[in-house]
Structure 1
Amino acid sequence: MDALPSRLSVVTVGTRDMGRLRSFYRSLGWPESPGSDDSWSAFLLGGVLFALFPLPELAAEAAPGVPGPAGGWSGVTLACNVDSRAEVDTAFAAAVAAGATVVAEPTDRPWGGRSAYIADPEGNRWEIAWAGTARFDERGALVSFG
């Protein structure tokens, strides 16, 4: 192989409180992958593995010698695109009921879609969005956008 393949396979979030974050994502109804425990946990989401890993261990692997994040927003958002404009509101309400913090209420966006933002119990930002141009396969994986 001469090039890095154009794919995203795994998104890993470093966690300060694994038990709390695992519980939050399970309460959304996301099925946890076999073998998950408080040393590593994962959820298969439409073809991408969303993984949780203790922050000190992740830092040792991915950023050796670099000071860890101080908390607050990292500058990264994750997104879950839904199939309809109305589903933004429904998914947003479900996430808040599961313990998410409201960052931005559902609203129609200038780009023609609708979205809202929540934060998980450790402040990781998620956008819940609908874009009329997004197309998904039978697994829920994004196959085209635009």
Structure 2
Amino acid sequence: MDQRVSFVTLAVTDLERTRAFYVDGLGWEPELDVPGEVLMVPVGERLVLSLWDRAAFEAEVGEPALSGPGVVPMTLAHNVAHPREVDAVLELARRAGAAVGEAVVREWGGYTGYFADPDGFRWEVAWNPGPIGLRVVPETVIDATPGE
């Protein structure tokens, strides 16, 4: 089996609110938009974010094991090439209505912050000047300083 992820699917409680956040607020372009059912957005060369109405998701896949309050034990990450882009993306998310935390310099040398989409899914916005950061964003500036 090839090492590959083709789709990341999130079951959402209000697809219209989710569409407003991602499409209208963040400016993402859907590739497939079936009102009341699913919104699919290309997010990488061969990767699609599928935002699926929760009732339709549960009908096909089953009820999620984690249905209570709190944070889903996963994150999605959006890596950027420069620390100032972390702040810019977090501000865009804030304007789109997201709950946003402040970005901080991490002990491993990067600069990251988080926002929550309308269903509480956490997105990390990260500048990672290390080898794995360069793997996902080859044009990463490795000698930048957060706040510049």
TM-score range, shorter chain: 0.7 to 0.9
Unaligned runs of 5+ in 2: 139-148
Identity among equivalent pairs (%)? 34
TM-score of the superposed pair, with normalisation by structure 2? 0.81
TM-score by length of 1: 0.82
CA positional deviation for 1:62: 2.5
SS at 1:23 equivalent: helix
Stretches of structure 1 lacking an aligned partner (at least 5 in a row): 137-141
Distance 1:91 1:39, change over 3 A: same
Which segment is superposed worse, 31-40 or 118-127? 31-40
Q: 1:16 aligns with which of 13, 16, 24?
A: 13
Offset at 1:70? 2.5
**Number of aligned residues:** 134
Residue aligning to 1:109: 106
Partner of 1:40: 38
Q: Which amino acid aligns with 1:128?
A: V
The equivalent of 1:69 in structure 2 is 67
Moved over 2 A (4+): 34-38, 59-64
RMSD: 1.9
- CA separation of 1:30/1:119 partners in 2, compared to 1, >3 Å: closer, same or farther? same
Q: Measure the CA separation in 1 of the matches of 2:93 and 2:33.
A: 25
Residue 68 of structure 1 deviates from its aligned partner by: 6.1
Which structure is higher in helix share? 2
The AA in structure 1 aligned to 2:38 is: W
**Corresponding residue to 1:86 among 84, 87, 94:** 84
Residues 24-72 of structure 1, C-alpha deviations (whole Å, 9 max, x = no match): 00120111114443211011012210011111221233236x6661243
Any conservation in 1 of the 2:32–2:41 contact (CA below 8 Å)?
no
